[in-house]
Amino acid sequence: MKNKILLIVMLSFLVTACTATSQPEIKPPTGKHIWTRTNPGGGGAIATVGATASGTILSASDLSGVYRSFDGGKSWDVLGARQGLTETHIASFGFHPSDGNTFFVGSGWGIYKTTDGGEHFKFVHKDGYIEGIVIAPTNPQIGYMAYHEDWDTYGSVYKTSDGGDSWHAVAGQNLPDNVRLVKLLVHPKDENLVYALAGRTRWGCSDPYLFKSADGGVKWQRVAKGILVLDMDIDPNDTKTLFVSSFEAKHCSKGNIPEDDYILGDENTGGFYKSTDAGASFKKIGEQTGIISVKDAKTIRIVEVLYPYDWNDNAGTWETKDAGKTWQHVGLVTNWQKGWVSNQYFAFAQSFNGLTKTIKKDLFNPEQFYGSFGQWAWSSFDAGKTFKNISAKEISPEHWQSTGMDNINGHAIEISEANPDVIYMGSYDLGFWTSRDRGKSWKRTLPDHKKYPKYVWSEGQGGNVTAVISDPKRAGVVWAAFHRDGIGNDDSSEYIKNNDSAIFKTSNYAESWQKANNGLPATIMYYGLSLDINSPVNNRVLYLTVNGDIYKSVNDGNSWSQILKNGGLKFTAVDNFDGNLVYAGGESGFWRSTDAGKTWLEVGLPEMRGSFVGNFLPTHDPWEGVFDIVTDPNFKNRVYAIVYGKGKGLYRSDDAGKTWQHIYSNDYMRGVAIAPANSDIVYAGSTGAYFSGGYDKDYLGVIYSRDGGKTWNFANDGMAWTYAGKMDISNDNKPYIILWSPGTGMQMADLPFKVK
């Protein structure tokens, strides 16, 4: 192999000329893009779900801000930068006691307030990770928040006396220094009677103790001593009566601990307790434990969140109507709707943000609950008898569509040239999905977990797909790179060694998969999958990057061999008219082969090179370099390169990389697509948020040109966040564009102008 590969590394400034251009003007749009979010539903981490006084449901995501529903969770819109939010990671809500248009959003860096139902937000406290917010029912000028100076620090209580326009720390005497606050509650009869529950959250942990303040947060005392408190609630009509549920938990003396290690005991541990002397003493009145909803002195409900599985006889919802003398098992988990996931342990995993956020009672309607189990949201409108998944809806058997609440990121996207109604999606965590009806519904298909356990999660629940390519002539033939566990969040060699990727192939629209990995090394870093459309239809030539090196298959992906050892290339593309002309790019810059991969030459500009730290993949900062390569569908030798990094952006070469035009400059460019029927129509995407969340005003979102890049227009109509990643345009008579918008997932729109 050494004799067959000639590596010629030349200084780009000696062989490559760049046509200097000024930054093109972005003009007013010439047509409105009607973006439709199309996803399976759910994903990521749903922190908490709650409802305003008027019944508007809000869901907090960790990647895409706030979701809002006016119809009980049947449909959702997104509240983001367009409304004034500048944080994508949301942890809590606070609700005005009577005005449904006024509510608060607790983020990773402070509190936002809206008085018009979420149409506009203002930043009222620009500091701190906010685990909880509560407004006094008797006086909406008074409120409290569970403040943590940073994401993983201990907490304190802050207070507002002007309706949430400003917040200040209260004395907090006797509140432990090492407390992680998970829930606050103000008594409906006394604005100064405040309860604070400590415990484990996503970013920190302290022992699950309950504290009470009778003077508005100045002085605190621990109540329910001797009880590890899972949740607490109060009698709304009696300031001296409160209730707690208990459980067994590992102590957090050394800080945060993994979720799997936090809960001790089995399904028969824990209990339900009542105090009638303001918390001085408690009496056990039930064997049930979980999230508490007190309607009045007699009617109380408890929802199990420790082991909400069908083998647990205690799982579900319990109710008493005689103050705990007798209990009825009114809701069974077998009546909880899992959504598209079949694994109950995956579906009903506790909220990433703590047990008390896994299920929450509606503050304004005791007959309603909201759930944020793991990656989806639920609601119950029948006092906990049933829970419905309100993130996803089944369109037909095994085919799903989002209700509009999405919290996912991904990288791989492909519209089938053989059948433009077919779309393939490769996502992080949710694995591989196919739509055969132009995005109206999605079906999840993964390699058989029993046969291929290293590449998908248990029972085939998900995983990561980093590359997808479909055959332009053979409908249903697809190659994809599968990887089981987290992408880009660990740079240890042990992690890399124990988490492999593999190429799989399907010939039946992903109904079944076969491994096509012969000759490829075991590693997680598979990217850059491309196909030579000039190769024999039944024996395709494919290219792939593995650990930054380039591999080639000349037999339809059945076997592979390394053709370039480089270490810094992540993306490949083949000219549409000349199969000998192959491109590759990454943090090592832009490279070209003119003999089908036998020899390679770096032909990119010096600025196309970037940096690469650790074992992170190119979806994860810190990273710079070539991030996308697209060859023109109508012109030989024309190629586009997206380069991510300071002062970089979109480049085009009309002579196979000999000379370049820098046609758009932006630090956060991620994707480019050319309309198959008209090469003057070019779309490009920009976002710094890719694998995780975050927002910056310099993220452009979607821009497009109708004159080959001379002038540009924005195409972010109606988008909550200006995010756009990888993208593709269909090749039919009514072309549409589909793209990854990190957090809100896949978005699609018809091209709103004549293409030909």
Domain ranges of the chain: 6-35+408-750, 40-392
The answer to whether domain 6-35+408-750 and domain 40-392 are alike in fold is: yes
The whole-angstrom separation of Cα 561 and Cα 4 is 12
Percent of the chain at pLDDT above 70? 93
Query: Is it the case that residue 13 has pLDDT exceeding 50?
Result: no
Query: Is it the case that residue 8 has pLDDT exceeding 70?
Result: no
Tens digits of per-residue pLDDT, 589-613? Answer: 999 999 999 999 999 999 999 987 6
| pLDDT (average), residues 246-250 | 94
Residue range 6-35+408-750 forms a domain whose CATH class is mainly beta
Query: Is it the case that residue 431 has pLDDT exceeding 80?
Result: yes
Q: Quick one: which H or E segment has residue 497?
A: helix 493-498
C-alpha distances (whole Å) from 621 to each of 122, 610, 616, 628, 691 are 29, 12, 8, 16, 9
| pLDDT (average), residues 483-490 | 63
The pLDDT of residue 611 = 82
Query: Is it the case that residue 145 has pLDDT exceeding 60?
Result: yes
pLDDT bracket for residue 646 (50, 70, 90): very high
The pLDDT of residue 23 = 60
| pLDDT (average), residues 10-39 | 61
| pLDDT (average), residues 502-528 | 94
The pLDDT of residue 29 = 55
The pLDDT of residue 177 = 87
Tens digits of per-residue pLDDT, 293-339? Answer: 999 999 999 999 999 999 999 999 999 999 999 999 999 999 999 99
The hierarchical CATH code for the domain 40-392 is: 2.130.10.10
The whole-angstrom separation of Cα 531 and Cα 467 is 12
The pLDDT of residue 614 = 64
pLDDT bracket for residue 132 (50, 70, 90): very high
Query: Is it the case that residue 11 has pLDDT exceeding 70?
Result: no
Q: Residue 370: CB partners within 8 Å, gap ≥ 6?
A: 49, 50, 51, 57, 359, 360, 362, 377, 378, 379, 380
Cα torsion through 321, 322, 326, 331, rounded to 10: 10
**At 364, is the secondary structure helix, strand, or coil?**
coil
| pLDDT (average), residues 553-582 | 97
Chain-centroid distance, C-alpha 225: 39
The pLDDT of residue 25 = 60
The pLDDT of residue 343 = 87
| pLDDT (average), residues 735-740 | 98
| pLDDT (average), residues 708-719 | 95
Percent of the chain at pLDDT above 90? 83
Q: Are 728 and 415 in contact (CB under 8 A)?
A: yes
Q: What are phi and psi of 149, to 5 degrees?
A: -55, -35
The pLDDT of residue 487 = 57
The pLDDT of residue 456 = 85
Tens digits of per-residue pLDDT, 741-751? Answer: 999 999 999 99
Q: What are phi and psi of 12, to 5 degrees?
A: -65, -30
Can you read off the two tokens belonging to residue 734? Answer: 């009514």
Query: Is it the case that residue 16 has pLDDT exceeding 50?
Result: no
Query: Is it the case that residue 450 has pLDDT exceeding 90?
Result: no
Can you read off the two tokens belonging to residue 4? Answer: 């067959």
Query: Is it the case that residue 486 has pLDDT exceeding 80?
Result: no
Q: Residue 231: CB partners within 8 Å, gap ≥ 6?
A: 183, 197, 244, 245, 290, 291, 292, 355, 356
Query: Is it the case that residue 220 has pLDDT exceeding 80?
Result: yes
The strands making up 526-532's β-sheet, listed across from edge to edge, are 526-532, 541-546, 549-553, 561-564
The pLDDT of residue 55 = 97
Give the pTM: 0.93
